[in-house]
Structure 1
């Protein structure tokens, strides 16, 4: 859910901080107070198109920040965030977006800079904004198959996963076959090229970590003079008359005598003795190393030549010796395939035919389960529409299954299965069903969308759903039904709703009143949570306008009482 929203210098909003709660939050207020501007800010926060026009006049930039709480590690946004390398702490996502007066946009998710495209992908799993004239996910025919699969639940999703596994192997085999079936001249050129590359790699006789070892040896030889001088100074400091070991030996002997007289000195004597013998070993080792140190300019030249050879291979075949060796193994396998091309083509054709049979079986099973889910979904949609006084409306799920075309070799398999699905609807008796995207009546569309949202909100996993004046064009009992339906959606997802209907405002869990004032020649927007009598006054204003009569007040209280009883049910 969206917990906190902070807005600065956005349109007419100078500075605004709003806290949101679970359930249904309704935003009301006079026209032009800034209700839709708040929704516009949320839209930009989750990847909407930005513009310098959003920056408050006279300011350098607009800033929007939102904190979202995700209740499950299995939420779709968690997977998206992980794909982009975004850390999620305690299932909290903080999104920040800045738009400068020049139009430049800066986006961050949990402090990490992201592109608009990345922000939009994460944002689409967090917020779904539906306005009366916007084409949202439910209006997009390309999304209908996915929505049906989500509604179908675990059984459909398991069948879809089985199909996807076979499809992946099918695609890999088809790609390999296509590559082998290319022009013979191209294959010959490719074979010549990779044979040359393999020969070059094999002649180099590379060893893992060889470049690291040579680089370290080059560093030592390049600093030989300094190394020799340092080791020699260490040897001279330790060995010889009046040097380090001589004085330490004298100290050890003296402490031994002291310890024989007074055991208090026994511990310090032992420490001195251990130090003497350790340094004596170190001195011997230093002398041995000093004798073995020898500068070989020819060896340094050989190292430079070998490293240059390795770097040349890195530029061609990989960033490390390991990658070069792996590339060599891969092209060696490819050489074998191209050399025995006909045999491999025959083998791949058999594999592809086998995968096609498996795909048909898995696809038919998936299609069968989808059609069963479609029947249940159709029944559920009709029930929801009936509750919204659209009992004459006909909803249908149109299937185009490509089993016959695939079997006849006329059409390739698709990643999502053998089906193409689109939602159809007819709102008038006697009229044929048409694609949902063709239905344009404002009042009817509001109810259709709410009916579908009520069902799909339980399966989509969207954190917050926003309705921007979707109740326009309705009144009376339909308005009451819309309020109840919006509340049903809010049971499964946080809902923010801009509304002019008192029936919707009455049923809200949280009521925010948006107002604007003129101060110092500038307009400022304020948000005020309403409680008890304040709710009654605002709902009364929505019923009758400015003037509040006793009858209006009584009507507002009745709406609130009715809403309270409906919530209990």
Structure 2
């Protein structure tokens, strides 16, 4: 709900701060007083065109600030803020500001956070519906008629939405399968060659590391082979150390008893022989383990080079070649099994399409029934609004498949015929602004509070009518205002008398500067303003008495 409107330097308005409440608020004033400026200012805050011509002469910029009640959590408005990265504290009022500079350019803000004019326009339908002679939002937008009819008829399209999602998912699966098969068919020769090549190579995960380790070991063994041979000569050759140690031991055994030192020398030589034997055994083990076949080394290197060359060819790691081979075989198998698999998915598509058709047809029937009830409800509102020659119909028509959605297969549009024998046409085709506003009022009353925005503005809905029709308009506006905030720019005393709050728009001049102002009227001032609306410039006692009667019966 709109709670406050602050205007600075907009056309003839220098500074204006207005407060609004629940129910029906009426704005009156003489012709040319500037009522349209007030609506232009509100429209500017809601993303309207930021024309520098709106800036008051001599001012650097125009500023309009509109304050609304806090949006409900999880409401479409709150979700819109989340999508656009705006942080709105829960429970805080929503403050929308628009600044237009005199030299061109404009800026928008939502709770002091920058917001584009496009975002403000997206927010507008959730905040305010403005119905005037040339307005094409709210009920005049055919894109929202289907949702309005569903709300009126309580025709929840949930089951249809689930069926539609399953149908589109099956179609997407079929399209992907066909694309895979088509691609695979084009690549069959390449696939077959690749699979044959990988099968012949028979790569194994982890094989490259094993081969590389073995290759390094054999290459190292090749390098130290001469050193091992030299050690053998040193230890076991004809004149090697082991033979000399054993000879020394045999000599010492004969003379060891002759002296203690000789016995010690024999023990040391025996230990040396034992340690040298251990060394010999270790060397034999090393030679055995590091022995290599030059041909095996060549084979190992050749295998390693083949694996790495194949990996480079397919732009994968050598360890991924085995998985690549499995993937290529699977693609060939899918290609070979192609038509059979496609047939299964096609059957699934057909079944899901049928399920969507059943659900959407049931939804269409409910919509048609709701449309009849809505037509009757609107028709009952037309005659009191001096639209008794007009006819209203809710068109529920099938859409082509390209228009199917989670909301079904229907196009919904509200149409009218304003004269007997005239063809039905869209609401926007009505020429008369006042007639259009009355049609919207009739439709709004029939739809009760449904429509989205918590605030509605009617601009001169009573244009060209008076008497009983004006009274009927006032009565319906008051009824509608029981469920939503309503602001009405009016020239009709019958409508003005219904207001819960009355604002007077007036123009003043000091001889050099003309200004437009707005002020709330007291009960006495309100009675006087309604009397003026009844009698014109010269207010008579009879007009005052009539104004009193209107206020008493409102």
Q: Is the pair's TM-score, using the shorter chain for normalization, greater than 0.5?
A: yes
CA distance in 1, matches of 2:17, 2:471: 31
d(CA) in 2 for partners of 1:441, 1:345? 58
Choose from 349, 362, 378 the match for 1:365.
362
Within 2, Cα distance between the matches of 1:467 and 1:499?
8
* 1:525 is the counterpart of 2:522: no
Mapping of 1:323-472 within 5 angstroms?
A: 340=334, 342=338, 345-401=342-398, 413-472=404-463
Distance in structure 2 (CA, Å) of the matches to 1:340 and 1:119: 52
**SS, match of residue 512 in structure 1:** strand
1:487 maps onto 2:484 in alignment: no
For these two proteins, the number of residue pairs brought into alignment is 419
- Match in the other structure for 2:98: 97
CA contact (8 A) 1:52 1:101 kept: yes
1:111 aligned partner:
112
CA–CA separation in structure 2 for the residues paired with 1:71 and 1:119: 15
The alignment partner of 1:414 has SS state of: coil
1:453-489 CA distances to partner (integer Å, 9 max, x unpaired)? 2233511231110111121111121111111112222
Alignment partners' CA distance in 1, 2:187 and 2:544: 85
In the TM superposition, residue 510 of structure 1 has moved relative to its aligned partner by: 0.3
- For residue 22 of structure 1, report the CA deviation from its aligned partner: 0.8
Which secondary structure does the structure 2 equivalent of 1:416 belong to? coil
Q: 1:415 to 1:134 in 2, by over 3 A?
A: same
Aligned-pair distance for 1:100?
A: 1.6
Q: Taking structure 1 as reference, are residues 336 and 529 closer, same or farther at Cα in structure 2, changes over 3 Å only? A: farther
Q: Does 1:558 align with 2:552?
A: no
**How far apart are the structure 2 equivalents of 1:163 and 1:25?**
41
Matches within 5 A, 1:216-295: none
Are the counterparts in 2 of residues 9 and 15 from structure 1 also a CA contact under 8 Å?
A: yes
When residues 28 and 454 of structure 1 are mapped into structure 2, their CA distance, relative to the original with a 3 A threshold, is same
Contact 2:73 2:90 in 1 (8 A): no
Q: Which runs of 5+ in 2 are unaligned?
A: 195-204, 206-322
Gaps of 5+ in 1: 197-202, 204-328, 564-569
Secondary structure of the residue that 1:143 maps to in structure 2? helix
- SS of aligned partner of 2:67: strand
Query: Does the CA contact (< 8 Å) of 2:395 and 2:415 recur in 1?
Result: yes
Q: Per the alignment, do residues 64 and 443 of structure 1 end up closer, same or farther by CA in structure 2, a change over 3 Å counting?
A: closer
Distance 1:335 1:36 in 2: 74
TM-aligned CA deviation for residue 71 of structure 1:
7.0
Report if the CA contact (8 A) 1:11-1:57 is conserved.
yes
| Alpha-carbon distance in 2 for matches of 1:161, 1:104 | 44
CA contact (8 A) 2:427 2:436 kept: no
RMSD of aligned Cα (Å): 3.1
Query: 1:284-343 deviations in whole A, cap 9, x for unaligned?
Result: xxxxxxxxxxxxxxxxxxxxxxxxxxxxxxxxxxxxxxxxxxxxx9xx999967972526
Quote the offset at 1:520 in angstroms.
Answer: 7.4
- The equivalent residue for 2:504 is 513
Distance apart, 1:428 and its partner CA: 3.0
- Aligned partner of 2:47 in structure 1 is 47
Give how far 1:79 is off.
2.9
Alignment correspondent of 1:501: 492
Q: Say whether the 8 Å CA contact 1:187–1:338 is kept in structure 2.
A: yes
Deviation at 1:6, TM superposition (A): 0.9
- Structure 1 residues 561 and 340: CA distance shift in structure 2, 3 A: same
1:17 matched to 2:17: yes
| Alpha-carbon distance in 2 for matches of 1:542, 1:337 | 84
Task: Provide the C-alpha distance between the structure 2 equivalents of 1:336 and 1:17, rounded to a whole number of angstroms.
Answer: 73
Give the match's secondary structure for 1:65: strand
C-alpha distance in 2 between matches for 1:362 and 1:356: 10
Q: Does 1:478 align with 2:469?
A: yes
Please state how far the C-alpha of 1:435 moved relative to its aligned partner.
3.5
Q: What residue is the counterpart of 1:2 in the other structure?
A: 2
